[in-house]
Structure 1
């Protein structure tokens, strides 16, 4: 059986925020994923919304700045 349960790490121990459906002494396998990390589908959704509501000119200006490596890293353009 698989359960998804939120927990808090305190004083070296994971404390579940909800009651677990486990038998006493039952062994389990934990997969830890921080809540502040985005799932791949959440990242794609955010990426799709980056230019939402901007004009073509604004998008072009942003991309020009983003791709201008000299602006960010002080590199010579070749």
Structure 2
């Protein structure tokens, strides 16, 4: 199986490719699409705002202490 990653825009019920594929395709050839949506900046900020949700003050202190010990991150 040959794969290529292409960007497309969904318009009027169909996908419009942003660029032409490098893989040669025949008219009517069946392909498989895997849809990955891009998150909006607002959605990313909302996720980031919930990173510490449910942590106690002691948990937050521990995380901050671990973050300050960066030399231990990669062993």
For normalisation by structure 2, the TM-score amounts to 0.48
Does 1 or 2 have the higher relative contact order (CA < 8 Å, sep 6+)?
Answer: 2
For normalisation by structure 1, the TM-score amounts to 0.47
